[in-house]
């Protein structure tokens, strides 16, 4: 099929779907209008019951906290499955130098990129801690904090290369952090059962409105989620980076490792 025929089919499909798209757009409620009673009930009750101002965190870690625990378990299983598949296909005899296409030139990092990455990495790590600790007060929380922290680790790799990255971000440590975060979440859910109350019931004081420690049990849960996301994605990044390494039996190239 030629490009002209493909373009013609695209235009015909757009014209055929245009009435349906227009009907859906015009049927939408006005911007800002409430579309369900669920959100209105959450906004009315949880600020007083949990003294939190971030309703998304209140829903994730309190109203439907067990669902969030299931999502964290799925992340842990997904990371474990990816590690098993990748290592099973390539083995573990990876060298510290990257595989290269013969004849392709190696471009060295410029000083400006190294400085930006070295400055940006600790700033992002500090910001991720801020987002995790303020998860019940401002937009953000454990998921976002973990993703930001992984971005900081990637800056270490981009600025200093794989060899230094692997020495500063050891793979076993990231796996331990992932497991620690998941365990913390499980303990927060299971310990209330020992007091004959439902799982994830807050046994901690809820604090004051817009206080850093408002939300009670949601504070350690947020930290656990941040650790689990950080460790899980860091392990995945490490495994994908290992895919670019050459086997230990290959000769080490003369160029500096990228």
> Residue 73: how many CA atoms within 13 Å on its side-chain side?
8
Q: Is the predicted pLDDT of residue 112 greater than 80, yes or no?
A: yes
Is residue 242 a part of any domain in this protein? yes
Is residue 253 a part of any domain in this protein? no
Is residue 100 a part of any domain in this protein? no
Is residue 27 a part of any domain in this protein? no
Range of the domain at 189: 38-88+109-247
Question: Is 47:204 a contact under the CB 8 Å cutoff?
Answer: no
- Mean pLDDT over 16-21 rounds to 94
Is residue 21 a part of any domain in this protein? no
pTM given for the model? 0.74
Is residue 161 a part of any domain in this protein? yes
Closest to 228 measured CA to CA, from 181, 163, 189, 186: 181
Is residue 103 a part of any domain in this protein? no
Per-residue model confidence (pLDDT) at position 53: 86
- Per-residue pLDDT reduced to its tens digit, 23-62: 999 988 887 776 677 888 888 888 888 888 888 888 888 8
Q: Is the predicted pLDDT of residue 115 greater than 60, yes or no?
A: yes
Per-residue model confidence (pLDDT) at position 97: 59
Is residue 97 a part of any domain in this protein? no
CA atoms of 119 and 115, how far apart (whole Å): 6
Q: Is the predicted pLDDT of residue 247 greater than 70, yes or no?
A: no
Q: What confidence category does residue 104 fall into, taking pLDDT thresholds of 50, 70 and 90?
A: low
Looking at the structure of the chain, the number of domains it has is 1
């Amino acid at each position: 099929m030629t490009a002209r025929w493909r373009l013609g089919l695209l235009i015909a499909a757009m014209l055929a779907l245009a009435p349906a798209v227009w009907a859906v757009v015009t049927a939408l409620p006005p911007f800002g209008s409430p579309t369900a009673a669920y959100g209105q009930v959450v906004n009315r009750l949880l600020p007083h019951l949990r003294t939190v101002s971030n309703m998304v965190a209140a829903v994730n870690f309190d109203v439907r906290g067990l669902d969030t625990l299931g999502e964290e378990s799925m992340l842990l299983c997904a990371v474990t499955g990816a590690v098993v598949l990748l290592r099973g296909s390539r083995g573990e005899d990876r060298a510290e130098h990257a595989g290269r296409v013969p004849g392709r030139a190696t471009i060295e990092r410029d000083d400006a990129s190294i400085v930006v990455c070295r400055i940006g990495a600790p700033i992002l790590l500090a910001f991720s801690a801020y987002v995790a600790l303020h998860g019940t007060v401002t937009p953000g929380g454990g998921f976002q904090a973990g993703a930001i922290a992984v971005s900081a680790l990637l800056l270490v790799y981009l600025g200093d290369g794989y060899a230094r990255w692997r020495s500063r971000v050891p793979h076993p440590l990231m796996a331990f952090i992932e497991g620690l975060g998941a365990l913390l979440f499980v303990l927060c859910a299971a310990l209330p059962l020992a007091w004959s109350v439902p799982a994830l019931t807050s046994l901690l004081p809820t604090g004051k409105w817009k206080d850093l420690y408002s939300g009670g049990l949601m504070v350690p849960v947020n930290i656990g989620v941040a650790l689990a996301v950080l460790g899980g994605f860091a392990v995945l990044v490490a495994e994908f980076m290992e895919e670019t390494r050459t086997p230990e039996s290959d000769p080490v190239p003369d160029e500096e490792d990228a």
